[in-house]
Amino acid sequence: MAAKQVKPCLVLVLVFSLLVFVSAVSKNRIKSLHVIKELNRRGPYIGLITVFSTEEDAFFATGSFRSDPKHPFVDLSGRRFRIGKVRGRKAIYVRCGIGMINAAAATQQMLDLFDVKGIIHFGIAGNINNSMSIGDVTIPKQVAHTGIWDWVNTNGAVDSADVSQLDFGSYNVPKGNGSNLLGHIGYSKEQFFSESGEPNIAESLVWAKISPHWLQLASNLEGMKLEQCVNSSLCLPEKPKLVVGLRASTANIFVDNAAYRDFLFKKFEVSSADMETAAVVMTSLSNGFPVIVIRGLSDLAGQQQGENAVKKFGSLAALNTAKAVLGFIDNLPGHAY
């Protein structure tokens, strides 16, 4: 008889524990929302979004971010939104995490909850363009989501509406060595929903365009001095440069393959590849907010001989990116955000 009573008691304990947990989570969230309401009365803010710790460390190492003395941060959904000022401008910073889902979620949360007037997205990226070098900084004018694929059978045909096609057989070694069972990939367009469009009706989109007035401001940064050395014994062969107006690509793929790198450059004419930019840009534009992207080139995306250089030069690329971000904020007039 006693054994039969154990199970109902266990269920009651589990239910009670769950209710306590949910209650604690709800209280924490309500507290955070109250803080956000107070913070928004002091807005507006610049929204700053980066991706992972290397970029975050480089940004905070500049000493430019001054935390709010009363509310230095707000924790939401496992992310820490840091509140403060950069170069005297009110700012909210968050590290979104790697990949497009993380990037879109963090961006939407920032836009929904905080009084921000625009998003500066920054980080490191792979270099797809042979005219660019490791350590350079790119501020693209357009970005494409190159991860929407129609993966076709060996003898299948790619959809005629696709914007580009990758035939794996073209990269057989040696060439002409029969068909490749991986077949073909057709690159599809993105579905873009926005405040300016009709509700529930998507626009077919390949290139998401960076906000033109912010891109114009960014053009003032060309020629700025960037760092050439990681330390006294590790330096780049040439001084890095900042270039405005190229193209970027985004997919949930870390590109470290020379053939795929070559394909992306030839077919899409992009100069960088990363895993977040398109998500941040499209989410910002969808909600009607200005956005700009600043990415430092940390590696050659597979073109190198030997090991990928991201571990060696990632911190330098992140530092140059942080310097460009600060330069852009310095150029922002009061009404621009």
The secondary structure of 93-120, three-state, reads EEECCCCHHHHHHHHHHHHHHCCEEEEE
CA distance 310 to 165: 29
- Domain residue limits at 213: 43-148+189-336
How far apart, in whole angstroms, are the C-alpha atoms of residue 26 and residue 21? Answer: 9
Q: With 0-12 CB in 10 A as exposed, 13-18 as middle and 19+ as buried, what is 267?
A: middle
With residue 32 as reference, give the H or E element that holds it. Answer: helix 2-40
CATH code, domain carrying 78? 3.40.50.1580
The tokens describing 337, both together, are 């955000």
Q: Is 301 contained in some domain?
A: yes
Q: Are 137 and 295 in contact (CB under 8 A)?
A: yes
pLDDT of residue 243: 98
* 33 domain-assigned: no
C-alpha distances (whole Å) from 233 to each of 115, 228, 287 are 45, 11, 46
The verdict on residue 283 lying in a domain is yes
What pLDDT score does 16 carry?
59
- Report, as ranges of residue numbers, the positions in the chain whose pLDDT lies below 70: 1-9, 11-25, 176-178, 335-337
Distance CA 68, CA 91 (A): 10
Question: How many domains does the chain divide into?
Answer: 1
Q: How many angstroms separate the CA atoms of 192 and 173, rounded?
A: 39
CA–CA separation, 28 vs 26, rounded Å? 5
Q: Note the pLDDT of residue 313.
A: 97
Query: What SS3 class is residue 195?
Result: coil
Predicted pLDDT at 254: 96
* pLDDT recorded at residue 153: 85
Give the CA dihedral 231, 233, 239, 243, nearest 10 degrees. Answer: -50
Residue 304 is assigned to a structural domain of this protein? yes
Half-sphere exposure of 6 (CA within 13 A, CB side): 4
Task: State how beta strands 137-139 and 242-244 pair.
Answer: parallel
In a domain, 34, yes or no: no
Residue 176, pLDDT score = 63
Q: Which two tokens stand for residue 97?
A: 């995490």
9 lies in some domain: no
Q: Is 142 inside any structural domain?
A: yes
214, 291 Cβ separation under 8 angstroms? yes
Cα separation, 28 vs 38, whole angstroms: 16
Q: Are strands 89-95 and 247-250 parallel, antiparallel or unpaired?
A: unpaired
Distance CA 140, CA 121 (A): 11
Q: What is the pLDDT of residue 17?
A: 61
**Domain membership flag for residue 255:** yes
Separation CA 299–CA 303 (nearest Å): 9
- The whole-number pLDDT of residue 155 equals 82
